[in-house]
Structure 1
Amino acid sequence: MIDLTGGAITLEWDEPLDIAGRDITGYTIKIVSTNGSVANVVGYDGKGNPSRNGTLYDLTADTQYGMQVVAYIDVSNCLDTKLQAWSAVINVTTQSPTLPRTSPELVVGGYTGGIIQLVWVAPKDKGGVPLTRYTLNLLNGAGVSTVIFSTSDTSVLSYTHNDLTANTKYSYTITTSNAAGVSPTSAVLEASTDSITAPSAPSKVRQLTYNTGGAVSIGWDRSFDTGGQTIAGYMVYRFGELVSGVLPSTARTFTNKDQLQASTSYNFTVRSMGLNEMPSMASDQLVATTTAATKPQKALSLSANPGSSYLNLAWIPSGDTGGVPIKAYEVKLLLDSTLVNKTNVTTTNVLLTGLTANTVYIGSVRVYNDVGSSEEISTSMITTTKGVPDAPKPPSIRGKFGGNFTIQLEPPLFTGGSAITVMKVYKFSLENRVTPWLAQPLMLLVKDHKVLGLLSKRCH
């Protein structure tokens, strides 16, 4: 025995006296007992190595091992194993737990513009007790190390360093530990990222809770591999068609309200995009399903284009209809708490007339479908200052008889913001081109006016 730790034994031996006139091709060390218990396992397999020493690894600390050595020549495999001549048994007891003798062996497993995958192999001599931790360090230009990964799960033998810059060199070291302490630090491993590559697809695309029949909300985790550049944003696709535009790089959720139907399944994927507009591959497909039909969501905004006597209301409806068609929009206009106008329309705008100039009104809109109504959206709006009324429509004939006829008058749609107090009727003969003359002024509420004393069978 020439070397001993808590987890390894190194033996050395002499060449057999009789080698049958042939060269030795290798040796094997067999463990025949452990703490006195019979065993029969190969502890060192050196059949292709004629060196006269070998080390047994993965041994347990404070444990006695009985060992034998056998030599091989080129024809040994042709002989009955019963004819093998084993050495005498040597008994050696390992030390109490020692440090792992060497560091893990660290190598590069792969790389892109934005990641470096690091892989390691556990040291052969673990010190006679289980390994308890791996610690991976990143070294800066001054050689100062920072822990970037540490795990007590010693079955983990790789780590992917992400969020790296393209065409950049990075330096790493690794250690392992057991109950006795920490191993030596490995030699520095230098690795470089590639030129800019496409980012990896977003991961863990999932449906989020959203309790309406007309929308689906999804979430995702960021791209792990940026490709060596900054992520500019994310894009959501439904059945392969872009439905989100380019979302901010911080976005992790998106709610699709694009006229979806209740109790219906839709396929979604997500892509990320770098600053150079290089997109990732599509994420795994998510099948998301809307709920049963619900009430519609309220309008997104409400505004008014004002005049002195009117308000032209317009609103932007939510794309979430509840999963069934919109039936109507209920529009109300209040002056203080008094209802001035109420109407139902199927369009997303309505003209409300007959209003007072320079007056604040409260307009509101509520959306209806077969399930019910949305919440109300409301806002204050003000008419402009008083103005001149528009021209009224031409009079219409209600009846005629002999030298008289009856005409109907309608006030103008846009009154200028105050009540119409007078409507004047003018008449003249179309045949004789008589200068118009002014009739008796008529009050607004007088809709019909009888014109008398005209010559029959003449145009007026």
Structure 2
Amino acid sequence: MKTSVTKSTSIIMTWSAILILCTGMTLPSIGTANATNSIIKVQSGLVTSDSLTTGDTSNWTFAGTATSHDYYEDLQGLHIGIKAPQSGQWVNYYASHSASQPNAELFHAVVTIPDTNVPDGVSNIGLYVEGSDFIPHVGCEAYADSTGYYWVVEQSSDAGQTYTILYITQPSSTPQTQDCTIITNGSNYLKVYIGGNVVFSSTTMDLGMSTPFHTYVQDDTSSRSMHYATYSNYYSTTSENIKVTNNPSNAATVKITDSSGQVLSSASVTSGTATLNVGKYSFPLDGTINVYDSNGNNIASSPVSIYGGDIFSITNTASVSQPPTGLVATTVSSSQINLSWTAPSDDGGSPITGYKIERSTNGGTFSALVSNTASAGTLFSDTGLAASTTYTYRISAINSVGTSLVSNTSSATTNPITPTTSTLTVNTQDSDRNTITGYYTELYQNGNLVDSGYTPYTFTLNNGQTYTIDVVDYGKYEFDHWLDTGSVSANRVISISSNTQITAVYKTVPQFPTGFNATTVSSTQVNLSWSAPTDNGGSPITGYEIERSVDSGTTWNIVSSNTGSTATTFSDIGLTPNTAYTYRASAINVVGTGYASNTASATTTIQLRPITLAQPGLVVSDSLTNKTMTKDQLLANQQFWHYGGSATVNNTPYDISRDPQGFHIGVQSYNDGNWTGFYGVAPSSNATLFHAVVTTPVQTIPTANDFYENGLYVQTGSQNVNYVTCFADTGTAGTVWAVVSATGNVNGATNFNLLWYDSNPNQPLTRDCTIITNGNNYLKVYLDGNMVYTNSTLNLQMPRPLIAFLEPQTSYPGQMLYGTYKDYYSTTDENVKVTNNPSNAARVDIISPSGTVIASGAVNSGVATISIGQYHYPMAANIKVYDSGNNVIASTTNMVNMFGGDVYSVR
């Protein structure tokens, strides 16, 4: 910025300060730092620095248009003094840092404005960051005029010929000395801190600043009085963040604390790295980096001196643990040995996290029983062992570094099993449960034949041993259906513990199911139903086999080999739309699969394509009824809405509050005919449609020539006060609703155009207002869902982004009158689009919950555009796509809450 900049002597009252207050936390004293983890700086983020207090100005280049100028350095900083040849003539003088800063993204200086006001002009000073071509820039500035002094953030794309104010304070409301920090990538990202508070932040800008950046401090003035701006502690760094890398695997959180333990910044650890934002602080930042695990234990800590962009690394100097001691193996039973041991006296500087347990049956060759117990416990039970067997054990400790050497060995022998005998009698029956005899049965153990005989036959067996009983096929009978305590199997496996009897029954499979039926459910599902067989073959039905054919029963494929249920229904899903399927079912019991049922066929329906939201059109919304807040609470917490107006300048009464009835703004003039107002303003955006329900408080004003206005305003975000409004105008004759456009300059609107008004008597005090505009030539306004104005050939002079105001204004001093507002929202468009329509799609309907068509649009090149600007959002509706034969071919699954600008896609 090497050219003069014209500064206005007035402040646009629609701008208000954005203050984000960062509240510190006190760090709890949890756990102790692990001395084996050290934190070292592996990369510095500092690019350039100059305290500007040494008297050495060799790193700076001085130039400018002022003929009367001066500069010098002392212990207070760099002083630049200038004055104009005559009042109103702008001159400047600057110091440009001459060092290359190719990687810098954060720039800082302490800036002091000397004047609290300038009677004969304007003085303007600040820190500026400029692209490599010396054209686009951003500035953290202070200026003073006859009304006071102000801190400002501004941006220009043409070397300051025109500029956009991104932030401005109230007059003389902040200190004259401020820390200025500008953080930018020169493309879309910009963040500015003043006095350690973020006053502007955006990730969607078009800055156009090519790298490397140039930085300079500059003094501009149009005053004839000599004044000196002061700058100190200049530096630039590569980032507003620092990184702590190489964190241990158990690291969860990294925090930076000051000497009192207050947390300055905190971040979680992801893939071994924590990224912490320190942009609001003045560098170097002296603090302590602390690393904590998920239990709040401090596992690394180190005092550091920090610059933005610094990279720190954690080094672990721990070693493997010493081995455990005092291992003892104790016999518990014939199948269990318990182990106990003492933890290592030295864990190697890293906590024990588990133990490796090894076992040997010959005392020499060990194999891993448990590779990692994942516990610091020193007890273990080894179960499922063989009786009368000696086992030898050894233990190793595990920490974050690795596995230790082994402990001492310890051995124990399991107890023997004392066998006792019992008898097992095997009987045989036919399928009608009649006793039959003389069938050959065999007894096996571990695959070896132990005994055999003809039924009924009694075996003498050892308790606690497992045997297999088999009745061999003899004549026409096959005995593999066993009955004892209700369980069945082909061959009976039994563990003998007492005298008992078991019976083998001749095998019959189930008969076929009856009444088999197939019913189409959807394009991908057919439901089946049937009745159970009249004869289950002598054994309960346990499931059904389901078969399917796509060639009318010529060939079959198994859908389910066994449903595993006695239920007589089945759903076949995942089918192909518009396809004929044939089915049959067979019953299953313990013996096997029975005969197939009759066949049944069904054809799936045509597939209905789903419609889903691909891009939301809602920019922002606030019901304005979801919080109860007082005036002081609203003014102190301007997170979204910001507040201001001429009432604060004129020192006239005003009030604001929120409750379940809406957002209330009260204003009162100090005498007849003198206008005053107050507003709530939403942040700027690229929205096209703006909405609010507006309630004006009274039907008439009692005094002649006094008026009360109340409405929704949409205004350009640039310097001039150009807007359109949907508002109520109340006087002695009553209340009239109107639509007006206005243009003006930085001081206010000067030209007004009445576009529409309602001449009817007794107009309602509450109306639903929707303003739709591109800020250029197009404007459409709805009141209570009725379009009252539309035009596409206007000259609105409202370049985007746009901002929305809820504002009452009054010239009536008799009482404070409250405007009420609720259900504010803005969207990207008045239309919705349905894209990716099938080639046979002809039209798209939006349908209300009652089935009424709300809006409709033809499909062109796969897209339907449907206007819904007259409706109140969100609008609950279904979307349906029709072909030329009026068949529904796509639909939303359920009702959707629709906003203007929504884009839906047919899948």
TM category (shorter chain) comes to under 0.3
Higher strand share: 2
TM-score by structure 1 length?
A: 0.27
TM-score by structure 2 length?
A: 0.15
